Structure 1
């Protein structure tokens, strides 16, 4: 194909920026594979959202997490409406951008819990001191507000909440982490490894409350001053961070008449019901799954870039076997190193091999189904993660009497 094909990408996050970059690289004779227009409503250059906690912790400068400059034209403007019949995107500033192929990479929005006092009738902004933690602007606002001795409450004990709590503690804040469910990072961890994360956080000076629901907040003169728990207890609060999960941004797609469930429905070619419109990243739902992780977003961007470049047969996206990694250290001591992949909770008939060291705070566990490695958790020491991930991602059959080989993968000394 020639560069006359116009590809418009709505969303300049990891998925959208990588797609634009790859379309520039997949051209021939120095000519990009498409004329790309990247629409992003944030005023910052595209950045790696995964590293925002490192920016908040003061370990990385904002410019360090910037993504490589994507090919094509970039417009920092909000896309407001899609006219599929005219193949045009209408933007908030009046700009109209025509496309031959449109890619929705609109990402996700933070979930704001229904807390009493959070939004008063007619209010359009959160009270002072209350922050979501999703964008670079959120991160910079939090960074400017935090100071040693400040009382910070983080609502949500998932991956994002744990990262935010550790980052704030590293900056000297007194942090309380409140999680409604019975354990931290319940989507990634089993009970034993979650308990080790709990211990790691308390060792960093973070007060952790699980099975604890926030009912509301108290505001004085427009500033949050307390967090109200369902049991009636009040936490004095200077800074409140809402890390209660995310929801795919599907409004544009729904208004354009595309099929939406949890995310925008796509097939193996990452096409919506309109063959001219595609979706990738946090907003896309493939075979009933919305990933919300970096690895699937990058794989989807790569597959779609190769398809749109037209240099070979269309690439089918068949889902991602995602591995989650987290490393965050408060002040260089007692680092939290975590890797999770596949299915970590065994089914009846599965075999489990695990090694724990409560003194050192390390835990390693793998789940085996038949002759296949189907998942695992490593906490505190990640030297084995590369070998395990290769076996898991390759779906290679394990040798007979697989426990000994797995011990060799889990420990450098083969489990002796």
Structure 2
């Protein structure tokens, strides 16, 4: 077993790995945020005011100053420390504060950065009142701005933008959601399901614009945002703007060290990069051509790598994740959304679909041969557990009419 493992990135993947390794390895966790590791999936609940920030904290890593055992625990946790360079020959990580940390094994869990579109009015940096929605600091800054009557514009109608719009509306802000695509959450949902999400948001008071292209930001005195300019010249008044335009894997550190990078940091089934002493997991990692960007994949990768590095299962291999995307849109008459696999059928696929506009319920599954290959469900999600298990396990479907897949027990 290697004597010293350094993990760069204290997000969900890095913190989980460090927590699993700490009882058996000398592990150091470096995180550039000052906060204890937290569950990024629940940031919208903090923005909505449902949870206090401490509620979304992850289980503490031994060695964290606020964790059990304090700073003298089984590992070392350094918060607010940014890694700036990897010296692969010396096996050392250099940090922005001038310190250097030696490693026998290095794990990159650097996550992803928000995509900041090239908008007019941002050449000198983002105006005051404009924030991505990626970190706890972003969330707290937006929460401080949002109050009853605040004019808020969310740019981007994917999963993150929809979550932010819902949360701001729950805080009482007057929210406009501007999305360039034809339907909301179009990466995960089909048009019918996206239309139901839109109806639900509009019921919360959110003004939704699709096929809407944003050209720039306007700001007033002291570079404080005052509006969002659309491509047709129309200006949306704004005191608060959320940039929810997607994320991009953080690969700069790896690329500068000469590691193989495509969309993400390329890893094999051992989650090993092109350097055998360096691994990558979570949102920054690309496995078999896929960057997952999902919490489920981050957890599975962390568990697999922990088994290998700790010696508990030296042959453990990561072969990919079949993950379900799930979202709850709160407010009066909350709406549950779940999507998995391929919601768009290919020629020859069977499609089973049930819709109840009155109740805001929608169910659709795609079947290829005797396998379930994708689905979208909104409203009552009683069937989602059985369907997800069949999809994740790639199991043959029961010999029954396909309509049974959408009954309350999923036909199983």
| Residue 413 of structure 1, CA deviation | 9.9
For residue 166 of structure 1, what is the aligned residue in structure 2? 166
Q: Which residue of 2 aligns with 1:28?
A: none
| Structure 2 CA distance for aligned equivalents of residues 272 and 262 of structure 1 | 14
Deviation string 1:174-217 (CA, Å, 9 cap, x unpaired) is 00000001111011000110110011111111000000100011
Q: How many Å separate the matches in 1 of 2:55 and 2:400?
A: 47
1:85 Cα deviation from its structure 2 partner? 0.5
| Deviation of the 1:375 alpha carbon | 1.1
Q: Of residues 12, 15, 22 in structure 2, which corresponds to 1:14? A: 12
Identify if the C-alpha distance between structure 1 residues 413 and 308 changes in structure 2 by more than 3 Å, giving closer, same or farther. closer
| Cα displacement (A) at 1:394 | 1.4
Q: 1:87 aligns with which of 88, 91, 96?
A: 91
Aligned counterparts, 1:347-386, within 5 A: 347-386=346-385
Tell me the distance in 1 between the aligned counterparts of 2:157 and 2:224: 24
* Corresponding residue number in structure 2 for 1:119: 123
SS at match of 2:300: helix
Match of 2:60 among 69, 76, 80: 69
Cα offset, 1:405, TM superposition: 3.5
Distance 2:123 2:7 in 1: 33
User: How far has the Cα of 1:33 moved from its partner?
Assistant: 2.3
Q: Which residue of 1 aligns with 2:134?
A: 134
Rounded to whole Å, the distance in 2 between the matches of 1:269 and 1:180 is: 38
Structure 2 CA distance for partners of 1:168 and 1:92, relative to 1, 3 Å? same
Q: Which residue of 2 aligns with 1:181?
A: 181
Residues 129-162 of structure 1, C-alpha deviations (whole Å, 9 max, x = no match): 1111100000000011111001100000000000
SS of corresponding position for 2:181: coil
Output one character per residue of 1:353-407: Cα deviation in whole Å (capped at 9) or x when no partner: 1111100001111111000011111111111111111111111111334414414
Corresponding residue for residue 82 of structure 2: 78
With normalisation by structure 1, the TM-score equals 0.93
Matched, 1:40 2:31: yes
Q: 1:50 matched to which residue of 2?
A: 41
- Aligned with 2:307: secondary structure? helix
* Cα distance in 2 between the residues matched to 1:230 and 1:18: 43
Once residues 274 and 395 of structure 1 are traced to their aligned partners in structure 2, the CA distance between those partners, rounded to angstroms, is 33
Q: Are 2:9 and 2:108, in contact at CA under 8 Å, matched by a contact in 1?
A: yes
Give the Å deviation of 1:95.
Answer: 1.3
Aligned-partner SS, 1:168:
helix
Q: Determine the C-alpha separation between the residues in 1 that align with 2:390 and 2:401.
A: 12
Q: Find the aligned partners of 1:163 and 1:145 in 2 and give their Cα distance.
A: 17
Residue number in structure 2 paired with 1:297: 298
Closer, same or farther: CA 292–75 of 1 in aligned 2, 3 Å: same
Q: What are the ranges of 5 or more consecutive residues in structure 1 without an aligned counterpart?
A: 25-31
Q: Confirm or deny: 8 A CA contact 2:383 2:410 kept in the other structure.
A: no
- Summarize deviations over 1:241-282 as a string: whole Å, max 9, x none: 100001110010000000111100000100001110000000
Whole-angstrom distance in 2 between the partners of 1:130 and 1:407: 43
The DSSP-based 3-state class of the residue aligned with 1:319 is coil
Q: Distance in 1 between matches of 2:39 and 2:47?
A: 13
Q: Please list every run of 5 or more consecutive structure 2 residues that lacks an aligned counterpart in the other structure.
A: 63-74
Q: Does structure 1 retain, via aligned residues, the 8 Å contact 2:386–2:409?
A: no
The residue number in structure 1 matching 2:242 is 241
Secondary structure of the residue aligned to 2:119 is: coil
Checking the alignment, whether the CA contact within 8 Å between 1:9 and 1:39 is kept in structure 2 is: yes
The answer to whether residue 204 in structure 2 is matched with residue 204 in structure 1 is: yes
Aligned residues of 1:54 and 1:328 also touching (Cα < 8 A): no
Aligned length: 397
Change (3 A) 1:233 1:316: same
Retained in 1: the 8 A contact 2:352–2:403? no
Q: Is the 8 A contact 2:84 2:95 kept in 1?
A: yes
Tell me which residue corresponds to 2:341.
342
User: 1:346: Cα distance to partner?
Assistant: 0.6
Q: CA deviation at 1:239?
A: 0.6
